[in-house]
Amino acid sequence: MVLSKLNVGQKAKIVKLNVQNKEIRRHLLDMGLTRGTKIEIRKKAPMGDPIDIKLRDYELCISKSDLSQIEVEVVK
Amino acid sequence: MNAKIGNWPGVTIEKKTGIIKGTKHEITDLPGIYSLSPYSIEEDISRKFIFDEKPDVIINIVDATSLERSLYLTTQLMELDTKVIIALNMADLLEKKGIEINAKKLEEKLGTKVYKISALKETGINELINEIDNKKDLTRTKIYDNKIEEMISKISNNLLEAHKRFISIKLLESDSRFEENNTKELDEFRKNLESNYDTDLEEVIATERYSFIEKVKAECVREKDNVVTFSDKLDKIFLNKWIAFPIFVIVMFLVYFLSVGVVGSGTVDWVGDNMEAFGEWVGTSLETLGASDWVNSLVVNGIIAGVGAVLGFIPQLIILFLCISLLETTGYMSRIALLFDKLFRRLGMSGKSLIPFIVGSGCSVPGIMGTRIIENQDEREMTSILVPFIPCSAKLPIISLFAGYFFGEYSGIASASLYFFAILVIITSAFVLSRTKFKHVSSSYISELPEYKVPSIKYVAKDVFDKVIAFIKRAGSIILICSIVIWFLLSFSFQMEYGVDIEDSMLASIGKTISWVFYPMLGQNNWGATVSAIQGLVAKEQVVSSMAVISGLAEDVEEGSEIFAEGTPFAGITIASAYAFMVFNLFSAPCFGAIGAMQRELGSTKRMLKAVLFQTTCAWVLATIVYQIGSRIETGTFNIVNILIVSAILIAVIGICIAKFRKKKDGCSSCPYCNNCK
């Protein structure tokens, strides 16, 4: 499952970052998107992209194209 | 202290230095950053500062309300040799959010001093300042896996420079800025370690930093489970699928109304009138003092008129900056970016680019300065280059003069068509620039969504003041020099005679020499139009007054029937060349005020000149196309077959170019061929 496919309110755990671009990958790691991190989908922009996620007690908006490169496991 | 507290990340783009009150300590406010990786300008500035300026103490301002993410930078600062003091900011908000932080325990775990402060309420700051003088060495906590720690000490032993631990870790992370310290041996080490973790060390180290923080947090922080916050409730409205856009329109209307609408233009007129009165007063005073005519004219028509044009913008700028600052500190700006991001990203710009364009329809100067709200450098630069393409209020006199005289009852349609034309040109330019000049790394968007906040009046006032002063300093100096140059060229002949007719001035001679440049869009050599277009550099409304003067009329005549009358230099202008000339003035180099603002936002004179060249080239090409097609329609030699064939060829050429760029953009991943090129 990739993060961009999740709906608002769903929670997930990061399995792997498949991000090709080194800079973006680095930035995502710095922002705390490391393996095992718990994530919740909070809101979506009115046009559906970017998507606001909650992790490590703060909120981060990420575009769908980046989220689609993050492999996750849905948790209940 | 000069700390910035805007409600979105990346507020400080430049560093600022000052002295702490009551001490001799010099303090530098560095850009807000998340990490010391070298991937953004902000991070790069901060890292260079620490390495080159060698500060004695680093005060790490940590957002106490989102400790986990904020401590990530702390873990990296702790790798440096410099003393680090942690200031837990927004301590006043902790209770409200039901968070309890044990500062003593945090000190223990991190091995450094921790102080709770509130920059907004100004509490805890004295204790923090006193700690600066405390010379006691602080311990460095080891936070990584044994194998990595072993490797770090091995690499450090071979290093000579300061910040050994920091550099060693960066080397393990394969940081591009320390490539020169890399060795074959290191590559070997890295490979061995990486085989243990099934991923690269960059990820391993980031993960271990965060697991260290998680452990620290578990011991030092107690928090209630977060229920739905106030921000969530507000976002239900401001980010609602149906009402988000109407709300945005209302907010933008208010900003526009205040800064460039009724209130803004009223203040501009007021300043303009006063400047004029002031100029007259200075003029008569100089006369009684016995100054010569030309000195008098230099001061009044050159300096006061030129600088007055800049000062006239200031009331508008104050209102605009106030609006922007409020949008920023409340957190609404981040929502605007979300609203339009999808749309603007296709054009290589950001959702926030919309604001400068809207403001720019009033005046390019605040529009260009407003691009500062865009974090990404490429997007910011591209927006500031394209903002002057939107017809600003000073271009309206040109449009109303030409459209009114040449298009008669269709003048409304002609004026409106220019706006659509401008939008079309902006979209096309953005599309082309984002694929050529500003090759985007990707269409990615990663930005924090701050919570809504009530803005601090003190902070907003200071922010507005700083921005206005910066504008006066930079744009003011450029305008002053350029206005003097134009005044000189207009008032003197090549024989250095003062007070000659405009036709004998140096500017007219220059105009006559280069009027061939305008031939393709006017169908004639017209020095008057050339000179007027050049004068538009001082201020676009000058184009019309210059044409009036050249036609032998008073400066404030705006009637087309007089300016274009038989016998004036403008008598030969036709409908096609009128439209072409409007197009040229619309897209060519903006006024000096806007050029000054562009220079400031683009960061260098060279880039500014390139941008001006780009704009003027666009203007020339478009105006020429308009005239060449228009004049053929006029004379009836317009041939539909020719047009169709030429457009087909043009579309094919553009198509090939786009296909080529697209191939370059996606790189090897989209290439179906061999793998040999790698």
DSSP string for residues in B96-113:
TTTEEE-HHHHHHHHTSE
Residue B138 carries which DSSP code? -
Q: Which two tokens stand for residue B387?
A: 């903002």
Contact residues, chain B, for A65 at CB < 8 Å: 442-444
Least Cα separation, residue A38 to chain B (angstroms): 12
Structure confidence at residue B408 (pLDDT): 82
User: Cβ separation of B206 and A27 shorter than 8 Å?
Assistant: no
3 state DSSP class of B57: strand
Q: Which whole number is the average pLDDT over A7-11?
A: 93
> With contact defined as beta carbons under 8 Å apart, do B510 and B624 qualify?
no
Structure confidence at residue B610 (pLDDT): 92
DSSP string of B2-39? -----SSTT---S-EEEE-TTS--EEEEPPP-S-S-TT
> With contact defined as beta carbons under 8 Å apart, do A46 and B244 qualify?
yes
Residues B479, B594: Cα–Cα separation, whole Å: 10
Q: Which whole number is the average pLDDT over A37-43?
A: 93
Residue A2 carries which DSSP code? B
First to last CA, chain B: 52
User: Cβ separation of A46 and B442 shorter than 8 Å?
Assistant: no
Structure confidence at residue B247 (pLDDT): 93
For chain B, helix (H) and strand (E) counts, in that order, are 31, 8
Contact residues, chain B, for A44 at CB < 8 Å: 239
Structure confidence at residue B12 (pLDDT): 43
Per-residue CA distances from B404 to B9, B301, B475, B667 (Å): 48, 29, 33, 52
Domain ranges of chain A: 3-75
Say whether the peptide bond before residue B672 is cis (omega within 30 degrees of 0). Answer: no
Residues B407, B560: Cα–Cα separation, whole Å: 11
User: Cβ separation of B203 and A34 shorter than 8 Å?
Assistant: yes
Domain ranges of chain B: 16-223, 244-477, 479-644, 645-678
Quick one: A3-75 is in which CATH superfamily? Ferrous iron transport protein A (FeoA) (2.30.30.90)
Per-residue pLDDT reduced to its tens digit, B569-582: 888 889 999 999 99
User: Cβ separation of A56 and B39 shorter than 8 Å?
Assistant: no
Contact residues, chain B, for A52 at CB < 8 Å: 338, 449
Q: Which whole number is the average pLDDT over A36-62?
A: 91
Of B39, B69, B235, the CB nearest to A23: B39
Least Cα separation, residue A59 to chain B (angstroms): 5
Closest CA to A42 of A69, A67, A15: A67
User: Cβ separation of A34 and B202 shorter than 8 Å?
Assistant: no
Closest CA to B621 of B576, B649, B588: B588
Of A25, A35, A61, the CB nearest to B338: A61
Structure confidence at residue B178 (pLDDT): 81
Contact residues, chain A, for B339 at CB < 8 Å: 45-47
Phi and psi at residue B436, to the nearest 5°: -120, -75
Phi and psi at residue B613, to the nearest 5°: -65, -45
Structure confidence at residue A71 (pLDDT): 94
**Residue segments in chain B with a per-residue pLDDT below the cut of 70:** 1-16, 39-41, 136-138, 225-228, 260-265, 309-310, 375, 439-443, 474-476, 478-479, 554-556, 638, 660-678
Closest CA to B601 of B376, B381, B434, B437: B381
A-to-B residue pairs, Cβ atoms closer than 8 angstroms = 117
Residues B611, B651: Cα–Cα separation, whole Å: 26
Sign of CA dihedral B434, B438, B440, B445: negative
3 state DSSP class of A37: coil
Least Cα separation, residue B338 to chain A (angstroms): 6
Q: Which two tokens stand for residue B252?
A: 């933008």
Structure confidence at residue B476 (pLDDT): 67
Q: Which two tokens stand for residue B298?
A: 């230099």
For residue A34, name the pLDDT band (cuts at 50, 70, 90). very high
Least Cα separation, residue A12 to chain B (angstroms): 17
Q: Which two tokens stand for residue B341?
A: 């991001």
A interface residues, B as partner, C-beta within 8 Å: 17, 20-21, 23-32, 34-37, 42-50, 52, 56-63, 65-66
Give the predicted TM-score (pTM) of the model: 0.74
CATH architecture of B16-223: Orthogonal Bundle (1.10)
Closest CA to B213 of B109, B331, B300, B298: B109
User: Cβ separation of A26 and B66 shorter than 8 Å?
Assistant: no
